[in-house]
Every structure is written in C-alpha cells, then in structure tokens.
Structure 1
Amino acid sequence: MGFVLRLLVSALALYLLTRVYGGVSFAPGADVLSVVIAALVMGIVNALVRPVLLLLSLPVNILTLGLFTLVVNGVVLWLVAAATALNVNGFGAAIVGAVVLAVISWVLDALVSALGLERRQ
C-alpha cells in the first residue's frame, strides 16, 4: 500500500475511533489537517517507539502470553495524544481506544484490499 493511502487509512481510522468511542476525541476545532498529523505521528511512534517498548516489556509480555501488548498499544496511543490534538480520557481509555483502533484499522485495511486499491509488487 502506498504511503499516502496508508496515511489516509490511518487518519480515517483515528477519526472513526473518535466517533465510535467516547474515551478518545479530538480537541474542539480540530480540522482534517490535525487528524492527518495525528495519523502521521502515530506512524512515526509505531515505527520508532513501539519496538523499543515491546523489547523492554518482553519478559512481562511472555508472562502474560502477549496480553501486555495491549498495554503497550495504549501507551503508544497516549504518546500520540500527548503530541497532537488527540485527547484521551485516562490510561484505561487509551488501552480500550487502542483495541478499538486496531479493529477499525483491520476492517479498513480489508476494505482497501477488497477494493483492489493497494499496489501489487
């Protein structure tokens, strides 16, 4: 999938998350550019910070049979909220929001694949 398409899908997933789940919202007056910037920051944090967090939490992750990854995803969402116009109503809301965001992203990725919008390489 091209970078721009992936960015737009992520931005749409973040926007849909704020519409579906009340624990995560955008600041009043946030526009489309704020949503795209939040999606871009989410991609950067997922690429740079998340692997480090997963490596540092590996013993706990093994003990919990991978369920601690949900907490790491919540931390990532919380970090994105700290750097952008995204608002999260507490750490529990970040964890639930990360789970809902994963489901929404999965559905949107499947839709993009079904429509044939991704490039084959």
Structure 2
Amino acid sequence: MKGLGYRFLVNTLAFLIAAQLLPVHASTPLLFLLAGIVLALVNIMIRPLLIILTIPLNLVTLGLFTLVINTWMVMLTSGLLPGFSVPGFGNAFLVSLIMSLANWSFKEMKRR
C-alpha cells in the first residue's frame, strides 16, 4: 500500500509539472489528483503485462521501448478520465519523460 501512495503522489506532481510545460488540460484541479490515482492503478495492473509482452522489443532497443509503454499508459489515463486530456502521442511522450524523471529523482532522494 505504501508503494501505491508513493506512485500516486509522484504521478500527481508530474502531471502538475507537465501541465505547466505542455498542453495537458483538466477541467478541474481535482482531476490531476484523480489522474494520478488512475495512472498508478493502470501502471500496477496493465503495465507489467505489456512489459512482459514486449521483452524482445525492449531487448532490441536496450530498454527505450519502455518509454513508449509509459506513453501508452498516459494516453490510456487520458482516455479513461473525461475532462482530462493529453492531446497527441508527442505530448503524451513528453509527459511520460517528465514522469520518468520525477520517479527517478524521488527514488534517488529516497535512497539518500
């Protein structure tokens, strides 16, 4: 349960940062919180299956295909929440990069 709360907070902060830099829209600020929860749940339930199914692509691309999987998760979250939108694959890719950097930096801070 501790891991889910961590993911939820990091995802929410990353969505808020991305909204300042990219055209990420939410009809209410509460939707950023809800998007963080939905993305955390999608990452827990669907992402591991996609990682397993795309092992050959990940091996060939030296793990960079994981960014595409993260992009799909952001796009799925955008599709599941009415009122929350990340328009286009390119913007979703940039949001997934921001999320990856946010998760990496929080893990580094947690280690110290």
Which TM-score band (shorter chain)?
0.7 to 0.9
With over 3 angstroms needed to count, the CA separation of the structure-2 counterparts of 1:71 and 1:34, relative to structure 1, is same
Cα distance in 2 for residues equivalent to 1:13 and 1:100: 6
Bigger mean CA offset, 75-84 vs 100-109: 100-109
Q: State how far apart, in whole Å, the 2-side matches of 1:81 and 1:94 are.
A: 9
Question: Is the contact made by 1:61 and 1:68 (CA closer than 8 Å) also made in structure 2?
Answer: yes
For residue 70 of structure 2, what is the aligned residue in structure 1?
Answer: 73
Of Structure 1 and Structure 2, the greater helix share is in: 2
Residue ranges of structure 2 left out of the alignment (5+ in a row): none
Matched with 2:20 is: 19
Contact kept in structure 1, 2:14 and 2:98, CA below 8 Å: no
How far did residue 78 of structure 1 move? 0.5
Instruction: Map 1:1-121 to 2 at 5 A.
Output: 2=2, 6=6, 7-20=8-21, 22-23=22-23, 25-27=24-26, 29-31=27-29, 33-84=30-81, 85-110=83-108, 113=110
Kindly tell me the number of residue pairs found equivalent between the two proteins: 110
Please report how far the alpha carbon of residue 66 of structure 1 lies from its aligned counterpart in structure 2 after TM superposition.
Answer: 0.9
For residues 59 and 107 of structure 2, what CA distance do their matches in structure 1 show? 28
Q: Structure 1 residue 56: deviation in Å?
A: 1.1
SS at the partner of 1:65?
Answer: coil
Identity of aligned residues (%): 30
8 Å contact kept, 1:9–1:109: no
CA-atom RMSD in angstroms: 2.4
Q: 1:30 is paired with a residue of what secondary structure?
A: coil
Instruction: State which structure, 1 or 2, has the greater radius of gyration over its C-alpha atoms.
Output: 1
Moved more, 64-73 or 9-18: 9-18
In structure 1, what residue type is equivalent to 2:18? Answer: L
